[in-house]
Structure 1
Amino acid sequence: MMDCIRRRPVIFLQNIEKMRRLLGPVAFHTPLAPSPHLGNLVGAEVFLKLENLQRTGSFKIRGAYARLHRLAQERPGAGVVAASAGNHAQGVAVSARLLGLKAVIFMPVGVSLSKREATVASGAEIRLKGESVAECLEAARALTPELTLIHPYDDEQVILGQASLGLEILEDLPQVQAVVVPVGGGGLIGGVAAAIKAKAPSVRVVGVEPSLAASAAAALREGRPVTVATEPTLADGACISRVGELTLPLIQRYVDDMVQVAEEHIAQAMLLLLERRRIVVEGAGALGLAAFLAEAVPALRGKRVVLLISGGNVDSNLLGRIIDQGLVRSGRIYRFSVVLPDRPGALAGLLTQVAAAQANVLHISHDRLAKGLPPRQSRVSLEIETRGFAHAQEVAAGLETKGYPVQPE
């Protein structure tokens, strides 16, 4: 099949179309929703491919079912093993249950409780191992050949399953000019890009990865998959230290550009999608919008663009922290301190000025014992809600004018 991808895209297209028919009763044809507000914000005609509404909450069931269906035909009742921090685990677990296969899933010790419980509820056996997906993958390989390893991205059938997304996009929006795809191990963008280029070669395909896990960019520079150091990122679903041996050639041939985005833009994108579209999106799913917010894709301004929202499986506790971080990073929560005379009415005067500037006080602390403070003075720390960076600066400037020296925190 990979030779078909590299040398004969028409035959590959036929394979994708066959796979799409197979997936029809299992994977949803998810909505492609226009987003005029986001479009006005980023300067493009934006559409959202909402795989967060997919069965299991992400695109992963497409590739997982494709791979397990082939296995079920070859070896009915076989057992499978996989390694995942969440989305691939749920895709494999649900697919195994539908096809009557036993599934063992290795997950990192620190995996979110919600993802762990969702995988267990789908009927898989969960084993916790190590701190990373890489450690889990090694543990999973140790159970082969008794169980068949289902790789999360570096597998021909998995790539074919993910490629079905490309056909859906072209069917729903034939006039699309660009598709922006999150990148982790490369299975999603490799399949989607190959499908799109086979039917519409003029459509640009752009990959986005977190700057803290830029393994695709490193592989493109070196011309081969290389292992890179990664750091914890909001886009944990795309935190992969090495792209696949099968996926890199697809990226090299079919992807027009690969960009990276910082954490602040990922958080801002998640918050915007939640506030403006009421869409709960995990960090990896917000990478496309983050690329626009980071001004990393200037060539797409004014274009008709699809942002692939790859998933929405974000832990509820983490979501609250992400919202708070997004508010801080967008300037809508502003933290600062002021040294006041320790006398009646001083604090009231400060708060009066904050209220006059149309800012809302969220938290306040009053410390008379702070190090370095002289007697008869106190340090007041405030967390206020503003309309953004410009408003926060107006508040600070107004306080300075009234004699309150502001120290940002």
Structure 2
Amino acid sequence: MDIANITDIQAIEAAAERIAGHVVRTPTVASPGLTDLLGAPVTTKLELLQRTGSFKARGATAKLLSLSEAERAAGVVAVSGGNHGIALAVMSGALDVKATVVMPRAAPARAARIAEAAGATVRLTEDMEGAFALMSRLEAEGLTLVHPYDDPVVVAAQGTVGLELAEDADELTDVLVSIGGGGLIAGVAAALRARRPGVRIWGVETEGAQAMSEALAAGGPVPVALSSVVSTLSAPSVCELTYEHVSALVTEVLVVSDAEAVRGTLDLAEHAKVWAEPAAGCLLPAARRVLERVGDGARLGLVVCGGNASPWDVMSWADRFGLR
């Protein structure tokens, strides 16, 4: 493990200055409803209220603002299970950069529609592995890559979520963060380690999208088979950059089922009064496990990463898993 690759707080602070005025400083609020549900104080960081509906706007904006004129002129390309594509499309449109977004057909149709409406070219592939392969080909043809997580600029910008949480939250003992490719938890963990060094950080994945868990078991990034319905967490592998952050800074990565994640989405709507996606809903079953592990005195922080799931998608999953 190369600790030199761990994002430092200065990079995160610089990212915060770079993206200020382009993105929202999202609310950090106590949740009485979740506190009652879980039996411990809960604070939520509401990234689903971010521009484009998820934290991804932070990393996409920071990367776009870092590009040279030649890189901007070439146009940008990204692969996405939904949220990164929406963010890149919308922020590229705002910054007058031509964008191409590659998505698997399993990604939410709504995400493709939003990306196209923002002016991006959307390319669909059969699966996520094919999406990453097409992204690589388009990069080789001259487009500028904006990777969803394998980029220090993107990780530092996602770390601004943790910076704001550290500044705005009351005392916390444990913070839970969803993991897809690992960019969000890498940045948040780096920020919290610098600003709240006593806080434990827990990652959460869904079964069938366990890229970080399998990397930790293998001692480094490995390809994984994807089967989760949670497309926004479905990375075919993590990268060395995010793996190093998690292995150095995160207490443990927990894995929950798709059904639990969808149930968590419904619980967030009912008890926290927010409409999140299953990539955030997975935090609630994981929070129960954390409370069992750490015992009394826990004060939880939940990074509610995004809200880009339609009611129809969530209801369909609820029916599929027998939750209604």
Bin for the TM-score computed over the shorter chain: over 0.9
2:239 maps to a residue whose letter is: G
Judging by fraction of residues, say which structure has more strand.
Answer: 1
Shift, 1:34, TM fit: 1.2
Q: Percent identity?
A: 36
Task: Write out aligned runs for 1:205-220 (5 A).
Answer: 205-220=201-216
* TM-fit CA distance, 1:141: 1.1
Is 1:308 the counterpart of 2:303? The answer is yes
User: Aligned in 2, Cα 1:110/1:199: closer, same or farther, shift over 3 Å?
Assistant: closer
Counterpart selection for 2:15 from 16, 19, 23: 19
Structure 2: which 5+ residue stretches go unaligned?
none
Distance in 1 of aligned mates of 2:179 and 2:108 = 21
Q: CA deviation at 1:203?
A: 0.8
Cα distance in 2 for partners of 1:91, 1:296 equals 31
Tell me if the contact between 1:66 and 1:158 (Cα under 8 Å) persists in the aligned partners. Answer: yes
Q: CA contact under 8 A between 1:260 and 1:296: conserved in structure 2?
A: no
Q: Matched residues in 1 for 2:175 and 2:290: separation?
A: 14
Distance 1:174 1:38, change over 3 A: closer
**Structure 1: distance between partners of 2:300 and 2:106:** 36
Structure-1 residue corresponding to 2:292: 298
Q: Could you tell me whether the CA contact under 8 Å between 1:68 and 1:96 is conserved in 2? A: yes
CA gap 1:199/1:27 in 2 versus in 1, 3 angstroms: same
Aligned residue type for 2:245:
L
* Counterpart residue type for residue 269 of structure 2: L
Greater relative contact order structure (CA < 8 Å, 6+ sep): 2
Return the alpha-carbon distance in structure 2 between the equivalents of residues 203 and 4 of structure 1.
Answer: 22
The number of residue pairs the alignment matches comes to 321
Alpha-carbon distance between aligned partners in 1 of 2:190 and 2:63, rounded to the nearest angstrom: 18
Please report how far the alpha carbon of residue 129 of structure 1 lies from its aligned counterpart in structure 2 after TM superposition: 2.1
SS at match of 2:60: helix
The residue that corresponds to 2:56 in the other structure is: 60
Is 1:155 the counterpart of 2:146? The answer is: no
1:256 aligns with 2:251: yes
Q: Distance in 1 between matches of 2:71 and 2:102?
A: 22
Per-residue deviation, 1:297:
4.7
Contact 1:225–1:244, Cα closer than 8 Å, also in 2: yes
Are the equivalent residues in 2 in contact too, given 1:265–1:291 (CA < 8 A)?
Answer: no
Partner of 2:125: 129
Give 1:174 shift: 4.6
Cα distance change on mapping 1:74 and 1:15 into 2, 3 Å: farther
- Does residue 239 (structure 1) correspond to residue 229 (structure 2)? The answer is no
- Higher relative helix content: 2
Equivalent-residue separation in structure 1 for 2:188 and 2:23 (angstroms): 16
Q: What is the 5 A alignment of 1:108-123?
A: 108-123=104-119
Give unpaired runs (5+ residues) of structure 1.
Answer: 334-409
Q: Secondary structure at the residue paired with 1:115? A: helix
Given that 1:261 and 1:291 are in contact with CA atoms closer than 8 Å, whether structure 2 keeps it comes out as yes
Contact kept in structure 1, 2:29 and 2:169, CA below 8 Å: no
Alignment equivalent of 1:175, drawn from 171, 175, 198: 171
- Tell me if the contact between 2:106 and 2:231 (Cα under 8 Å) persists in the aligned partners: no
Alpha-carbon deviation of 1:232? 2.8
Q: Distance in 2 between matches of 1:68 and 1:20?
A: 14
Give 3-state SS (helix, strand or coil) of 2:308's partner. Answer: coil
Q: Report if aligned partners of 1:166, 1:196 keep a CA contact under 8 Å in 2.
A: yes
Q: CA deviation at 1:237?
A: 1.1
Contact 2:57/2:91, CA 8 A, preserved across alignment: yes
State whether residues 261 and 296 of structure 1, in contact with CA within 8 Å, keep that contact through their aligned partners in structure 2: no
Distance 1:246 1:16, change over 3 A: same
What is the letter of the counterpart of residue 245 of structure 1?
E
Partner of 2:92: 96
Write the distance in 2 (CA, Å) between the matches of 1:75 and 1:183.
Answer: 29
**Structure 1 residue 74: Cα displacement:** 6.4
Give yes or no for the alignment of 1:81 onto 2:77: yes
**Alignment match, 2:66:** 70
Scaled by the length of structure 2, what TM-score is found? 0.93
What is residue 25 of structure 2 aligned with on the other side?
29
Indicate conservation of the 8 Å contact 1:226/1:242, yes or no. Answer: yes
Please tell me whether the aligned partners of residues 72 and 101 of structure 1 are also in contact (alpha carbons under 8 angstroms). no
Q: Any idea what SS the aligned residue of 2:45 has?
A: strand
Alpha-carbon distance between aligned partners in 1 of 2:206 and 2:19, rounded to the nearest angstrom: 30
Of residues 275, 278, 297, the one that matches 2:270 is: 275
- Answer with 12-21 or 262-271: which moved more: 262-271
How far residue 72 of structure 1 moved from its aligned partner, in angstroms, is 4.2
Deviation at 1:324? Answer: 4.0
Number of the residue aligned with 2:189: 193
Check the 8 A contact 1:180/1:208 in 2, yes or no: yes
Amino acid in the other structure paired with 1:252: S
